[in-house]
Amino acid sequence: MDTDDILRVGEPRELLSLVPHRLGFHPVASAVVVSLRGPRRAVGVVARVDLDELADPDEGPQRARQLLALLARDGANAAVLVLYTEHDPRERPGAAQRAAEQFREAAELALGFVPAWVVTATGYLALDCEQACCPPGGRPLQELDSTLVSARMVLEGSVVARSRDELGAVPRADAAVRRSVARARRRWELRRDAAHDDEARERWRVESVAAWRTALAAVHDGLGPGSDVPWGRVEAGLEDRRVRDAVLVGVVPGTGDLPERCVLGARPAPDVDAAVARAVASLVDPSSAVRPPASVRLHEQVLAGVVAHGRVGRQAPAWTVLSLLAWWAGDGARARVLLERAVTDDPAYRLAELVEGLLLAPLGPGWARAAG
């Protein structure tokens, strides 16, 4: 029995236990809309907004319309609203009721009545329930930890972060190691700046891609930080658009030496441009889509290592590629958090703008749409 089969049984607590796994974190002060598709009511998109935003008399209707547009693109013919708030809203009326009213009013024509559930700090309940099945404070929250869905997700390796911010957290490396990496980065940047002809710039880029390959091998072999991993060269290399693109296409299965060919010459050859376009299409286009291979995790570890060892506030390339990989894996919540970090570091970073377009669409990676 897969997760969707469990949810079709119609047990609300199964659905409630799934939401944190789909989001990747435990929501707080949130309104979450769950798309239900087809006659069997299979779970589709799970989208979260701040509870106060949906409850706001001015901003709420617009947020509700945005959520409904998302459900329409997902092919929803029904939905469930889940409200996360501190206390039982039947005892302390407030934002939860206002949020439900705003969303239900906007959804009535397209979806009919939308059931609303509430998860508090201690329990869960149906918002409209006045019966013994939903006592004051709701049913015990612990029941959501013992569902079939919860057990299945844990077996599949799903880990739920304690908060949204924790999704994109990368611990800083030891200060002494970071100082050593900074010296190596500056040397590599000086070499880049001294490359005054096409041949020298090509050599610098090729060696930057080689440093990335070395970092992958070192992390794969479990080697420690410091001289074993050329973090400084990788960080400096990622600032170059062609090196960054080489790193990105190298994540895609079957690209072989395409990363190295990406950085040859003063500009990419037409056949290389075409190969890069095919690699990118395999992330986005359902007709040529591929699923993320297990090796993506290794690439993520190296990118996180760059952030951990690199300059604070200067990691837009690494954060953005991490965001794109999270999106490719179907982890939209983590992708959005990582992208926020990239935009914080560089609001004008072009690749971040393109990834933001994918997240706002939101169509999901090609393999997910092909499977649907």
CA distance 366 to 324: 13
Average pLDDT rounded to a whole number, residues 288-306: 92
Of the candidates 14, 44, 16, 12, the one whose C-alpha atom is nearest the C-alpha of residue 148 is 14
pLDDT tens-digit map of 79-135: 999 999 999 898 888 899 999 999 999 999 999 999 999 999 999 999 988 776 788
Give all strands (DSSP E) within 107-245, no chain letters.
116-119, 123-126, 139-140
User: E strand or H helix at 84, and its extent?
Assistant: strand 76-84
Q: What is the pLDDT of residue 364?
A: 75
- Vertex 275 angle, CA 294 and 199, to 5°: 105
Q: What is the pLDDT of residue 44?
A: 84
User: E strand or H helix at 156, and its extent?
Assistant: none
List of domains in the chain: 3-163 (3.40.140.10), 175-371 (no CATH)
Q: Give residue 371's pLDDT band: very low, low, confident or very high (50, 70, 90).
A: low
pTM over 0.75: no
Average pLDDT rounded to a whole number, residues 337-360: 89
Is 362's pLDDT higher than 90?
A: no
Q: What is the pLDDT of residue 1?
A: 35
Mean pLDDT, the chain, whole residue set: 88
